[in-house]
Structure 1
Amino acid sequence: MPLSQDPHVNEVAADTVSTLNKLFGEHAGFRAAHARGVLLNGTFTPTPKAAELSSAPHFNASSTPVTARFSSSTGLPKIPDNDPSAEPRGFAVRFDLGPHQHTDIIGHSTDAFPTANGEDFLAFFKAVIASPPGTPSPTPVEQFLGAHPAALAFVTTPKPHPLSFGTESFFALNAFKFTSASGASRFGRYTWVPKAGVQHFDEAGAASLGADYLFDELVTRLGSGPVEYELWLQLAEDGDVTDNVTVKWPAERERVLLGTVSLDKIAEDGAQAAKHIIFDPIPRVQGVEASADPILEMRAAVYLISGKKRRAAPALEA
């Protein structure tokens, strides 16, 4: 996973990591965003339709081992599960294709993203920092939201607390190009759908949640069987925008089931493994290519810069 060949992308990415550290504090050994999380192991099993759409190895093998991470938002490693700022939740899945070979899917639980490029993403967080309590209105963040409708839509989208990590949908919002063994190509967007069904707490139920309810519930749920997710792909049609993460496609676009991931255990030595692993939003595998969406390269650089800092920190306590 290399840094971008564009110095501007790397500069903005480094500034983004620094800004997130200012916003949430710098916590050695943890991610600048989605710091609190848990790593799991499991297996992905594709459908025949997956092989029709893509020549990627995990879509053509009978099954592929995976490493997945559920997480809460912010750069706070101890953010309570019942804190509204812990939404949206994150879900990253690594398909382990062989020694030093892998490809990842990264999503979060809100079907929206605040900005179409890294520069605006950085400006958003800087506006938040410049708008502490007591700042006269319109605050910098109010001004930013007023000038960026996608960010306003993201901020105001309801984000209820899930009953479980295993009852939440996750959206990998960027478009990717899928190419079959015969050379046919289609663009698509991933969604993870829980086999247990989407279930959230209402406002009254959320008030009674504990600070560790999600992570505790996950351990209990795994004691009764695996946490399972279906991987669905929404297919683009001619004229659909594929290079702007903030633009949705019509709901009636065809959706196909690519497979199921079954997570059956918490990863051994999970804290240290989570510190080491750097998920990559760019597929970097045959049969699945990044679209021209500029935020993909920016996100990859942010994750790599943050990950290198995390790896260089002292060992985490067990």
Structure 2
Amino acid sequence: MVAIAGPSLAGNESESLGKTVIQQDQLYDALLDALYATFGQHPGFRVAHAKGLLVAGTFTASAAARGLTTAAHLQGDTVPVVLRFSNFSGLPSTVDGDPMASPHGLAIRFTLPDGGATDIVSHSFNGFPVATPQDFLTFLQGIAASSVEPANPAPLQAFLATHPRAQAFLDTPKPAPRSYVGAEYFGVNALLFTNQQGQQQAGRYRIEPLRAEPALSDKQAAQMPDDYLQTELAERLAKGPLQLRLVLQLAVPGDNLADGSIAWSRSHPEVELGLFTLKSLIPAEQQQAQQQGLDFNPGRLVEGISPSSDPMILARQRIYERALQRRNPQH
């Protein structure tokens, strides 16, 4: 809900707007409550994607990126980035090969030339389980009801019966990667990219390895050490920098920009926006403190990139803001 202000609002319209804002705030609080109901309270950790690893690096945009957007970090100059690779679960103790660790996450903070910041938040599944904040709440409350003792699976079953993409999200295999940098990550919400001529193009982010790596089988994943993804990434970085590619999958006529639960075809046209160069792990003694304070947010956009009609962009933004406040009240 974007705040609207102005003297032209009549009394009834202003009152209605105020009620809408309150209702939206209540919805966002309820969404966060449902996540905590599923995973529990773990002070100092994120409510989801609790276990993670920070990596420092740089990003350099391609010439093609400059033709798509005026965004400051996509003009070709090398900018600093911090990347956070993570496991899905809100339980910090979840081992890397556990099915609850998938889909894995990759969040990226770009530091802009003027000192500002913009973020990408992605995960290793092409799509989101639902299209709207209200459906997301019902979905999460159903999962929460199924996770407590005594479990009540009925609400989730009733929801899934009428939401096949949410059912597919749960049922589709999500094999464990061999490496955090060997997986593909998808920004599931469409954004609008505006260039210097004022032309606008919708697209979704994808982050991918320069060379694809096969995932582990379930048997292999079960036999891996608890922290194998973190250990493997540390060992790779000790040998030298690593690179990932940032791609923009372009929308085509007929795509529903408002529904992040619909995976776009891989036949869509794509533009390579640039390359990430991963240089080193954030020092171990700084990892927890920096993870505590970093508030990656898919709604933290920059001039030249704006939200599409997807309502989950604002919902995720508000949930992430609230999650930061709960785990780190001084913010």
Contact between 1:17 and 1:306, CA under 8 Å: does it hold in 2? yes
1:88 matched to 2:100? The reply is no
Name the TM-score, length of structure 2 as normaliser: 0.89
Q: In the aligned structure 1, how far is the partner of 2:288 from the partner of 2:129?
A: 30
Q: Kindly provide the CA deviation profile for residues 32-78 of structure 1, in whole angstroms up to 9, marking residues without a partner as x.
A: 11111011110001110000111101110421110110010121112
User: Which shows bigger deviation, 46-55 or 3-12?
Assistant: 3-12
Q: Which residue of 2 aligns with 1:123?
A: 138
Instruction: From 310, 320, 330, give the equivalent of 1:303.
Output: 320
Q: Is contact 1:35–1:74 with CA below 8 Å preserved after alignment?
A: yes
* Letter of the 1:188 counterpart: G
Write the distance in 1 (CA, Å) between the matches of 2:149 and 2:230.
35
Among 258, 278, 299, the alignment partner of 2:295 is: 278
Per-residue deviation, 1:198? 3.1
Residues 154-173 of structure 1 mapped to structure 2, 5 A cutoff: 154-173=169-188
Residues of 1 paired with 2:135 and 2:149: CA distance?
Answer: 24
SS state of the match for residue 210, structure 1?
coil
Choose from 67, 70, 75 the match for 1:60.
Answer: 75
Can you list the C-alpha shifts for 1:253-297, whole angstroms capped at 9, x where unaligned? 111111010111112412101100111112421111110100110
Q: Which residue of 2 aligns with 1:316?
A: none
Number of residue pairs matched by the alignment: 311
Q: Which has the higher contact order (CA 8 A, sep 6+)?
A: 1
Q: Which runs of 4+ in 1 moved over 4 A?
A: 132-138
From the superposition, tell whether residues 211 and 185 of structure 1 become closer, same or farther in structure 2 (CA, over 3 Å). Answer: same
Q: Which runs of 5+ in 1 are unaligned?
A: 314-318
Q: TM-score, normalised on structure 1?
A: 0.92
| TM-aligned CA deviation for residue 140 of structure 1 | 2.2
Structure 2 distance, partners of 1:280, 1:9, is 18
Measure the CA separation in 1 of the matches of 2:115 and 2:45.
23
Q: Which residue of 2 aligns with 1:41?
A: 56
- String of CA shifts for 1:169-209, please: whole Å, max 9, x gaps: 00001101011111111101110011242331123322311
Contact 2:52 2:87 in 1 (8 A): yes
Q: Which residue of 1 aligns with 2:46?
A: 31
User: Cα distance 1:296–1:180, how it changes in 2: closer, same or farther (>3 A)?
Assistant: same
The structure having more radius of gyration, on CA atoms, is: 2
Contact 1:88 1:159 in 2 (8 A): yes
Asked if 2 retains the 8 angstrom alpha-carbon contact of 1:4 and 1:301, the reply is no
Greater shift in the superposed pair: 291-300 or 77-86: 77-86
Question: Could you list the runs of 5+ residues in structure 2 that have no partner in the other structure?
Answer: 4-20
- Which residue matches 2:164? 149
Query: What SS does the corresponding residue of 1:306 show, helix, strand or coil?
Result: helix
Letter in 2 for 1:174: N
Greater percentage in helix = 2
For residue 137 of structure 1, report the CA deviation from its aligned partner. Answer: 8.8
| Alignment partner of 1:109 out of 113, 121, 124 | 124
